Chain A
Amino acid sequence: MNIHSLNWLKAAPVSAFPENGGACVMLNGQQIAIFNFALTNKWYATDNECPHKHEMALARGMIGDTAGEPKVACPFHKKTFSLETGLNLQGESYCIRTYPVKVEDGVVYVAV
């Protein structure tokens, strides 16, 4: 995908997202979880819905890493997903979508 053709949507100011944690935004009727991975100074965006039991909860999950791969754990049953690829890290077949994120002038944007 050509990075310049992405349709960037304004999510919220940087201050709305706790350091090393996530928060949920509504963009075009879609719930997106955005994570401020301050330890590595990176941002990630994924679906807010956990595909395991279809709970709208990933933004409330804890983030961290495994073998250097950044991940989020769903607060419901601790299913973990890579923040880079969206794959389930416990080897289960469901996964989540990830979205490009950027920060400009203190505002977080997501390409949905």
Chain B
Amino acid sequence: MSNQAPVRVVVVGNGMVGYKFCEKLVAKSKGDNRFHITVFGEEPRPAYDRVHLSAYFSGASVEDLTLAPAAWYSDNNIKLLTGECVVKIDRAAQTIATHSGLVVPYDTLVMATGSAAFVPPVPGVEKDGVFVYRTIEDLDAMMSYAKTATKAVVIGGGLLGLEAAKATLDLGLETHVVEFASRLMPRQLDAAGAAMLKRKIENLGISIHLNKNTTHFTGNDAVTGLHFADESLLPTDMVVISAGIKPRDELAKEAGLATGPRGGIVVNDSLQTSDARIFAIGECALHNGMIYGLVAPGYDMADVVATNLVTANAPPFFRGFDMSTKLKLIGVDVASFGDPFCEKTEHDTILVEDKLKGVYKRLNVSPDGKHLLGGVLVGEAEGYNMLLQTVKNKIVLPPNPEDLILPARTGESAGSGMVLPDEACICSCENISKGDICAAIETQNLTDVAGVKRCTKAGTGCGGCVPMLNDLLTETFKKQGKVVRKVLCEHFNYTRQELFHLVKLAGHTTYNEVLKANGTGCGCEVCKPVVASILASIHNEIIAKQPVIQDTNDRFLANIQRGGTYSVVPRVPGGEITPDQLIRLGEVAKQYGLYCKITGGQRVDLFGAQVHQLPPIWEALLEVGFESGHAYGKALRTVKSCVGNTWCRFGVQDSVTFAVEIENRYKGFRAPHKLKGGVSGCTRECAEAQSKDFGIIATDKGWNLYVCGNGGTKPKHAVLLAADLDKETCVKYIDRFLMFYTRTAEPLQRTAPWFEKLEGGIHYLREVIIDDSLGICADLERDMQHIVHTYQDEWRTVVENPELRAQFRHFVNAEASDPSLEFVEMRGQKRPADW
């Protein structure tokens, strides 16, 4: 093809779609130097990401938003002229002329002029303080004006308007949104979904005014308010207009190209205008009476034109575009897919509305219940990708389609990407199919999402399909029979179990030693706490001596809470507490103004302590015999007990004494995750031992030992390991069990999920723990004995060691406490103020 005549391509407009066209044409014509591309952009800088414009207010720079630097254009032999405005097209001569007098000939002309903000002709719109939300220059002007303003009104409650409202909120302004229609996002959401969105946005402090028709802006030179048709007035310091877009078709119109009555350059399915040498793509193009105001269809149009220029065979067509969209608006997930309203289609709806959580979901299902037609998601849009694919690929719905939008009943995800046909479009921004992605994973041996993004470009646009990419990776591995080895992170190519053994064998005692011997790089927030936990499980040294590798709570031996204060939980073994200890808890709470709550583990939690108050608080608690409760650690928490046969008329054994003994035995023991125990004095099971990592229930012959239960996200009953044990044997089995789990579990894996993945289940576990089939029981017991013998109360160690104690301060250059802390009163106690 390279011997063909050169083609001069001129692109008018260097926005997102104009850039994408260049990118596609360069990629498709690689090695073929026919195309001489010249791009004109009227803005002073190369194309940038307009979709994420509001990031500019939260600190992103122009460079962060730029799609490709000027060098990219020159590297690909594209002549980029920014700040150069095309003012005339001479179709007869096939040239364009710019405002500076440049005349450039073309063989093919691509109009990617985009759109401008639609500014309604409201009297007073020219006043100072009235802005549109479109370009980086608009944003700069808004930011500088906002310095003297306290209140902003955004006109327009659609997608862009809410984006703009987020921007003014980020600027610290009291923000109001004014919408002409009776609901927010009228093009994407139904009334109930829009009402839910309104509630959520109002909760964030943005006022919403619906059914408001602005008749004029008040003020002399600068705007002071909006006057509405209902005679009401909304005072303000500035106004941002985001009421829609107006296609930039003036140049085309002047050149005599066909344009729509309400704007837009008329194009056919090949995106050709009424002049076959001129194409229009993006928001300036009017296709089948539609202007597409989203970036994905614009990218699709760019692809169609680029492909048509490069190949004459089987040219693709633009057939309209699904306007499904998912986005995070001011932190609220909103999605609309397929036909969200089904106003003209026969359908049945499935509705889920949870006003408490602020979630609204609607599915439109065909009357026979077989196919999904579309829907709306507000407040939670996790299922969006799967639902969209279900619509697009006409996948037959399961018998209970409501499961698609209800929380999963069995804890499994609602559906996996593998049920989709190969031609299903996964990434609609880049138009990449499932088949393309799976093939790339297989042939190029991709192992992570970053690799998939690099090789296929899927997931590089809006990023909405990334969870789906993850699914496809896992599923493709499974199909290939690949064992997915769960290595810690990029710094350690070992599983936790492997690293545990390496550390134990080598006797490493610090993170840096472990990293040097077994890892690469500088470590991260994933591997540091894992190594810290392994070191603690093996050596049981004071963790405060290596504070910088400890996870959030372990670093200050307390639980960090909203606002950055900490909560304090002293150990109350078996739930047994003396009156003096109770009094001291009250005294300490009063002295430091702490919020008090009884925990689920038979202890008292004191909230609201500042970091420098922790050592003196503990000093006072240690005096009456309290010890650290390790509520902050992935460690033994509590051993809950019922009152047992010392008081209870039904009890058959002394559950409290046993619980106290067990809790004192394992206190301070750090494991892959937190550990909880329980001891019940009879079969009534008042200590709920069967919901614990290890639970003991008294029988008239001894004790039954249950393991691997937990509450939490996925409640799981513990399984009987052995029955009618004497105390000594029971403790021996717990020693072995806890150590075996600690050696072999994944990071942050509790005993229940660990057990679920244990091949051979309870039979295997019995063989290892009771029959010693692996011959490791003596070793496991010795390791646990070491933990029991080396226990020291870490809070006593810190309080008595001036060097360790000195770590507990907010500022290292001032005595002050964190001045940003704020509390409000609630039911006679305090809690952190909302941000």
Q: List residues of A whose CB falls within 8 A of some B CB.
A: 10-12, 16-27, 31, 37, 39-40, 49, 51, 53-57, 60-68, 70-71, 73, 75-76, 78, 80, 86-87, 91, 93-97
Contacts and interface: CB of A to CB of B under 8 A. Distances in A.
Interface in B45-93: 52, 54-55, 58-60, 64
Contact of A65 (B52, B524, B820): B524
B811 interface: yes
Given A12-B813, A24-B810, A94-B58, A18 B547 contact: yes
Contacts of A21: 547-548
Contact of B528 (A19, A62, A76): A62
A64 B524 contact: yes
B812 interface: yes
A24 B564 contact: no
B552 A20 contact: no
Given A18-B548, A70-B522, A95-B59, A76 B560 contact: yes
Contacts of B564: 55-57
Interface in B551-608: 551-552, 555-556, 560, 562-564
A97 B59 contact: yes
B812 A23 contact: yes
A76 B553 CA distance: 10
Nearest to B56: A93
Contact of B490 (A10, A55, A66): A66
B522 A87 contact: no
Which 6 residue pairs spanning A and B have beta carbons closest together?
A: A21-B548, A64-B524, A73-B525, A93-B55, A75-B552, A16-B812
Contacts of A11: 812-813
Instruction: Count chain B CB atoms within 10 A of each CB in A11, A26, A49 and give the residue with the most.
Output: A26
B263 interface: no
B506 interface: no
Contact of A26 (B64, B523, B527, B814): B814
Nearest to B812: A16
A86 B59 contact: yes
A83 to B, nearest CB: 11
Nearest to A92: B55
B729 to A, nearest CB: 42
A14 B231 CA distance: 65
Contacts of A65: 521-524
B712 to A, nearest CB: 19
B134 to A, nearest CB: 18
Given A62-B525, A65-B524, A67-B490, A19 B59 contact: no
A21 B550 CA distance: 10
Contacts of A63: 522, 548
Nearest to A49: B820
Contacts of A51: 58-59
16 contacts: A10-B813, A24-B811, A25-B814, A31-B811, A40-B522, A56-B820, A57-B560, A60-B555, A60-B560, A62-B529, A62-B551, A63-B548, A64-B491, A73-B525, A75-B555, A95-B59
Contact of A62 (B490, B512, B549, B807): B549
Contacts of B547: 18, 21
Contact of B524 (A18, A71, A75, A93): A71
Interface of B: 52, 54-55, 58-60, 64, 463, 490-491, 512, 521-525, 527-529, 547-549, 551-552, 555-556, 560, 562-564, 807, 810-814, 816, 818, 820, 835
Contact of A94 (B59, B527, B820): B59
Given A19-B548, A54-B835, A93-B55, A26 B813 contact: yes
Contact of B58 (A20, A40, A78, A95): A95
B819 to A, nearest CB: 8
In the complex, which of the residues A73, A75, A97 has the most CB atoms of chain B within 10 Å of its own CB atom? A75
Contacts of B810: 24
A51 B548 CA distance: 22
Contact of B812 (A20, A24, A71, A80): A24
Nearest to B835: A54
Contact of A93 (B58, B522, B525, B814): B58
Nearest to A77: B552
A76 B552 contact: yes
B818 A56 contact: yes
Nearest to B815: A26
A57 B59 CA distance: 19
Contacts of A17: 812
A48 to B, nearest CB: 9
A26 B809 CA distance: 12
Contacts of A27: 813
B812 A25 contact: yes
Contacts of A57: 560, 564
Contacts of B527: 64
A94 B372 CA distance: 36
A31 B522 CA distance: 26
Contacts of A12: 812-813
A93 B521 contact: no
A20 B548 contact: yes
Contacts of A40: 522
Nearest to B820: A56
Contacts of A25: 811-814
A2 to B, nearest CB: 20
Given A11-B813, A18-B548, A97-B59, A53 B521 contact: no
- Residue among B60, B524, B527, B548 facing the most chain A CB atoms (10 A cut-off): B548
- Please indicate which of the listed interface residues A40, A71, A95, A96 has the most CB atoms of chain B within 10 Å of its own CB: A95
A39 B552 contact: no
A19 B564 CA distance: 23
Contacts of A96: 59
Given A53-B835, A93-B60, A97-B59, 19 more contacts: A11-B813, A18-B807, A20-B522, A21-B547, A26-B816, A39-B522, A54-B835, A55-B563, A56-B818, A57-B564, A60-B555, A61-B525, A65-B524, A76-B560, A78-B525, A80-B525, A86-B59, A87-B60, A93-B58
B333 to A, nearest CB: 14
Nearest to B63: A85
B64 A87 contact: yes
A49 B55 CA distance: 17
A12 B811 CA distance: 10
A62 B548 contact: yes
A64 B522 contact: yes
Given A61-B525, A86-B59, A91 B64 contact: no
Contacts of B529: 62
Contacts of B552: 60, 75-76
A80 B813 CA distance: 25
A75 B60 contact: no
A78 B551 CA distance: 10
Nearest to A68: B521
B511 to A, nearest CB: 8
B468 to A, nearest CB: 16
Contacts of B54: 93
Instruction: Kindly name the residue among A17, A62, A63 whose own CB sees the greatest number of chain B CB atoms within 10 A.
Output: A62
